[in-house]
Structure 1
């Protein structure tokens, strides 16, 4: 075995492949075959720009409420790498990951794999040994060429299509839509949750003979103040309807897509389990509220224009009596000016953080220049995320709100700071190892 500590494995994985992102299925497929990976249980794959993690969390919560053993794979993680792989609600242990990485390393021969490809194979290797009833896999930044796509899913969900990761996926929704559609399979269910799906996505699904279920055509929902109603198509082709559903903390768009997908899983789910799962489903770092000394702290990993629109709407729906400040740091390749323009009216002041040591991150000076060009006042550069959060909290009083958003790295650093200062325990933010949520 190359290493006996998980941290050593992870450091090695970060450096052993010449490119951080190297899309393509050839290398990972060769190693999967060498490992004899062939999942015997039903698989749901979730692709899209935003909402993937929510779809995974909602699917898992509902299925587990029915009593099924569920494996989930998501990325990236916030605090611990182990967050990426859950087996029936439990984070995998360091020892389990080490065993998986060692098996992959032994099987790959001279084939080089990226950090993400190693993690994907580790998840599949562990799921194959875990006696699961169903697996839910989140696709990475792509679709067609993403490592997760070596699995032929029984059901594929595409949650949304927006502009992000342009360097790899393109700057056009039609081009991106075609890439995401690569997770569809002939004869299998394909659920499309986007309200305005790119024609390229729909055309590809029809061309290959996927069983398309498109929002506002096959399924829809309506909501009141404290409950909602869903209508869709059952496995027999007949209409299905749920009324009086509890409001989840996660976005209804994603819940609606999940309910349509679950109609076709060939695993019975009662309406009671649907309601229970909707109440239970949570996702760390997505419009997550933490109260510290009377200040409402909102953590959100929104890092593209579509995601910050969702954040803006959430803030409008959850008003506070006091002032609203933000702590912000994001990657340099994001649509910074557009994101700022969307959220300008939401904040009374901005504290800009630096993600020290992250070569992809925009500096606080870069962001400050963009804010100045857009006429935004009340801007401070606060140092690290922890220092920025400390400064913003020092300016806040009971009834105020503080929004920490941007990169996963930003929210992860905020969680660590808050865990050390009484605002949150990390085990409440992510499912702890050994705990069934």
Structure 2
């Protein structure tokens, strides 16, 4: 069967009979979820199904025993479509679409024993790591390994890695006993499967957060100084547009507000009360960028137009700044990159990028600039509202692996 012959989607309660038949055909009876558990998973959108010609050919089922923990129950794929990436795609999509019950990432875990190399490779390829051996009452040779999905980027020590044969039970339990050791790969060693076990470096969260808050305060302080200088020039110039003066006044207020927010983050870190450091930093980051940095940069060609009186150099500067903003908006350094983007948001980003050229052209030709200023203010306010109230917490860079080797 060709790879393009199947598609994936979230399973619906009406799929229950066909899912039961698929699981009964492809899995051992001992691992097939009960009808009650399967129905509950369907009700909570915790089942992804792959189908071909309206028939299910694979599925991933999970359960949520608590609002902050999801456990994978079973992964099933029909034999005719195996080795086509069905299981990998289903698992990846399920992880990305896990319902968020709080602002904190949900822990996603799974179990696979040492006699299930296919499942182990799948989990490791989808961002899971094996963290510990689960001691059960089973008498077989297989050891159950607890795997969990890594959301945060963490670093492993390149000099603290070793290989352990899957069959070496005692050594495997000893290697995974420390909390900072985990399975990161399944390889072949001397013709037999072996786990690569690595030690993760433990960072001090308080130190890292303290440095982030200090950097935010220093950055906003620098932006405030630049905006204040530009505002002083605007007040001393008799021909400076009043609407741009109001834009700079708003930028000054927003930047001062971001400084207060960053100071609040420092206080939150010092007291360690509500564990809301991430939320506070999001407010500071959004206010400083869309209320301070972007109004400052967009106002630069307007200021230059007042000083130089040369429309050609003004437009060259404005176009360069517009291109720079457009590149920044699409780079991984921007605040917008840390949130999910919609089509309407992309339109707002485009208007933000062309604003320097548009505003400079209006001022250079002595055209009324009030409509432009009002539109720019509305766009920046909308983006601020969008990221603060309509999006969740800031995400890491999704293109990076969940763990990395520190060089």
**Structure number with higher helix proportion:** 2
TM norm. shorter chain > 0.5: no
Higher RCO structure, 1 or 2 (CA under 8 Å, sep 6+): 1
Structure with the greater alpha carbon radius of gyration: 2
Q: What TM-score results when the alignment is normalised by the length of structure 1?
A: 0.26
